[in-house]
Structure 1
Amino acid sequence: MKIKTLLLIAMLSSPSYAYYCDQTSDGAIDGAVDGAITGAVVGGIVDGSSGAAAGAAIGGGAGAVGGAIDGAYDEEACEVVGDVVEEDVIEEEIVEEEIIEDEYYD
């Protein structure tokens, strides 16, 4: 059970590339904080107060490493990620509008 908890915490506390891509060294700090919070919440739910403490420590470490790696990427790559995210949002809005129009005219 402990191994599953640790794996779950590590997975949930790893930061996403898009979130930290515009940061430099701040990525490690933000990753550690986000990872510790996520780890504490998940660990507390799964294993009580002792799980929360362990989850915060493990999640903070995993988040810091991931945040530092993500924060090291160059700015051009971040702009590409941002453009892709914007395109996805626009596509979703277009699809939603088409669905609403279809329902309205049917």
Structure 2
Amino acid sequence: MNKNTKRLLYWLPRVLSILFALFISIFALDVFSEGYNVGETIIALFMHLIPTFVVVITLLIAWHWERVGAALFFALALIFLVMSGGEGWIIGGPLLLLGVLFWFDWLADARLKVG
């Protein structure tokens, strides 16, 4: 595997994970239109950002341990799809893709160490 492919396999899942975290953070902005007071708004915003925190923590783990991160992203996708009754592919699909990309990055790294 050439250097550019390895670099792409390294950075693509990380950048896409950051973009995905930003994407799901957009859904938290609806708390500002609910008419809550300041304290309620802060609590509601925190609650709405919990999925973003989970994705960011998973990304931090995956950044150092790709295989573990791949398994966590697969698990997040499965959990979300089960909780949404199989209807949540707009969230579950990207999580599944991130799991696959981190898995490929781990495989490429493992092959370089062996061969």
TM over 0.5: no
Give 1 or 2 for the bigger CA radius of gyration. Answer: 1
| TM-score, normalization by structure 2 | 0.33
